[in-house]
Amino acid sequence: SSEVQVVGPADRVVALAGDDVILPCSLKPSVSAEDMAVEWTRLNLKTRNVHLYRQGRDSNEDQSPSYRRRTSMFHEELKNGNVSLKLTRVTLSDAGSYRCFLPTLNSQVKETTVQLIVGAVSQPVISIDGIKGWGVVLKCESGGWFPEPEMEWLDSSGTILPADGPPERHRDSEGRYAVRRHVTVNQTDTNRFTCRVHQPEINHLKETYIHVPGVVFIG
């Protein structure tokens, strides 16, 4: 006789721009939601409707335009109490709080909130940028990141190298970050150096390494 509740994910949902993502929402214990109404809305959005399911079918006439033809529910799973929403081709502007609300559910807990974090990543590019004394100046560049990433240089044993000043950064018109950082390296037994770009919030890391030919150091 335990009361049915609407349950969301324990943690926030992380997706990369361009991916498809599932915003989890279900009834516990699992009873059929086929004959219930399900309203997926976006908090703090003017046209808040993201996806509506009513009277056994999807009903999206007043859906927010930015979600058109990008939302779906798992109709064959409704009988198991799964009212999760699938969102395709995620964009950075999809990030935010989503409400899964079952207005017709006879229960204290009719809704839950799902937090969606959207990130973007790209592979760093390394180039040789000049000679400084006995050392070689390396440049690492990586654009198209969101949120803002951290960039560091490492030697072949994974030790962080002191870079030539702080990273340079700028944002493009879509709000994505580009980062650039220089390091001056001296000849080692391997001449192998790595540029690592890391975004802890979305837990993504990209690395590129370069092998500098010994002849470059001789100048």
**Domain annotation for the chain: domains and CATH numbers:** 5-119 (2.60.40.10), 125-218 (2.60.40.10)
pLDDT tens readout for residues 43-91: 987 778 999 999 899 988 789 999 999 999 999 999 999 999 999 999 9
* Helix, strand, coil percent values for the chain (each to nearest 5): 10, 45, 45
How far apart CA 113 and CA 116 sit, in angstroms, is: 10
pLDDT, tens digit (0-9, with 9 covering 90-100), for 23-39: 999 999 999 999 999 99
Strand 204-211 to strand 111-119: parallel, antiparallel, or no bridges (unpaired)?
unpaired
Confidence (pLDDT) at 181: 97
Q: Rounded to two decimals, what is the model's pTM?
A: 0.83
Is the Cβ–Cβ distance between 170 and 178 less than 8 Å? Answer: yes
Cα Rg of the chain, angstroms: 24
Alpha carbons 177 and 70: distance in angstroms, whole number: 26
Cα torsion 53, 58, 60, 66: sign = positive
Res 195 pLDDT > 90: yes
Residue 219: predicted pLDDT: 57
For 90-107, the pLDDT digits (tens) are 999 999 999 999 999 988
Structure-model confidence comparison of residues 132 and 209, the more confident one: 209
For 110-123, what is each residue's pLDDT tens digit? 999 999 999 999 99
Nearest to 21 by CA among 202, 171, 172: 202
The 8-class DSSP code of residue 134 comes to T
Query: In this predicted structure, what is the pLDDT of residue 1?
Result: 43
Q: What is the tens place of the pLDDT at every residue in 152-182?
A: 999 999 999 999 999 999 999 989 999 999 9
